[in-house]
Amino acid sequence: MGYVAIRGGGTAIKGSLEALEALRAAEADEGTALSLNTIEHQLRLLTSRILSEGGLYHPPLAALAIKQMQGDTLEAAFALRAYRSTKPRLLTTPVQETEGMRVIRRISSAFKDIPGGQMLGPTTDYALRLMRLELADESPEVFRGIAARFLADTPSEALPQTFPKVVEALRRDGLLPASPPGQGEPFDITREPLVFPIPRSAVLASMARAETGSLLALAYSNMRGYGDVHPTIAELRVGYLPVLLPHPVTGEPVEAGEVLMTECEVVAMYESDEAGAVPVFTLGYGACFGHNETKAISMAVLDRALQKGMKDGPSNPSEDPEFVVLHVDGVDSMGFANHYKMPHYVTFQSDMDRLRTTQIKAEQKKSAQKKGQPE
């Protein structure tokens, strides 16, 4: 389901767009207009959200969408998706192994000591949520000094390039099932219609570009009682994942670049798939473009809930794939809600005619009852 703006009075629409542009540029003195570089790097979490929900990894274009849409995340994601749809698909990457990620943040709430160690990285998790009023007047010199001090104290050679996966250690100890065999060609939600039931790859792909708040709301509903997934984070990692593409001549995979990603693997309640088999923990998985930990965690929780719903039948909304997948896409949701702003003159006129007819019949029935006459 997708809705776009309809055509209307040309003069009025042109005036509306000019007013919008005037507001966007208001109070922007010479030299103070937001640059795409500023948005991309100083509002990096906002940019990450648009990358994820827009389904296209291109940070400068995500920054442009944010600027054009004046910070409206849903409209920005809509614009980025629309742009992506105009471009040809030249190549498809093979399955990427996240163990090769160039990590900037890596934590586990399941173990204190994990192979390679915890790496707190950039996060607000351990800071007080207090307003830093000094940022209201941050000079460029102070800003550059902060970055320089951090980089000076962080020797790159002291950091390992990659880290092993925590879940593999759990698998070796028999606490998780073995890695599933290849699942075949993943479902392409950009080219194939969602006809339920759908495979898990379609569910994960839909959630990967879903609206963060929608995922969080449904995952939270499961965690607080409308479901029974109370997970432990085996590993949450943020970093740059190499993108491998087949060489046009040899066909061998070649690194063509890297994308910033967030990945979360949660361990949930244990179960046994077969009678008499040894029970093991179950796993939920979430991954998305950019640095967006809340989305990845929510996605992993819902993945586990939906696996249960697809196996045993849903007992609440967060376990129903059709309910979840069709209601977490922010662009679709926004389009449906906003289409009510468009003219509905004919349908509303019909509603008024039916209401007036019903009112007349009700008045006639009331009068007949007062007179004691049969209806």
Q: Of 69-73, 103-107, 132-136, give the lowest mean pLDDT range.
A: 132-136
pTM for the full predicted model: 0.88
What integer pLDDT is reported at residue 270 of this predicted model?
76
- Residues 206-223: b if buried by 16+ CB within 10 A, e if exposed: bbbbbbbbbbbebbebbb
Residues 116 and 230 in one domain: yes
Instruction: Report long-range pairs for 62-68 (Cβ below 8 Å, ≥24 apart).
Output: 63/36, 63/37, 63/39, 64/36, 66/39, 67/24, 67/34, 67/36, 67/39, 68/24
Question: How far is 134 from 190, CA to CA, in rounded Å?
Answer: 45
Residues 266 and 182 in one domain: yes
Question: How far is 144 from 152, CA to CA, in rounded Å?
Answer: 12
Question: How far is 100 from 156, CA to CA, in rounded Å?
Answer: 17
Residues 301 and 157 in one domain: yes
Top pLDDT among 103 and 276 is at: 103
Q: Residue 288 forms beta bridges with which residues?
A: 262
Give me the torsion for CA of 205, 208, 210, 211, rounded to 10°. 180
Identify the domain containing residue 287 by its residue range: 98-332
Last residue of a domain, one of 297, 313, 332: 332
Question: How far is 223 from 330, CA to CA, in rounded Å?
Answer: 22
Residues 231 and 278 in one domain: yes
Residues 252 and 324 in one domain: yes
Q: Is pLDDT of 278 > 90?
A: no
| Structure confidence at residue 110 as a pLDDT band (50, 70, 90) | very high
Question: How far is 241 from 290, CA to CA, in rounded Å?
Answer: 11
Residues 162 and 51 in one domain: no
Residues 132 and 230 in one domain: yes
Residues 136 and 269 in one domain: yes
Residues 140 and 38 in one domain: no
Chain segment 306-350, per-residue pLDDT in tens: 999 998 899 999 999 999 999 999 999 999 999 998 889 899 999
Question: How far is 318 from 122, CA to CA, in rounded Å?
Answer: 31
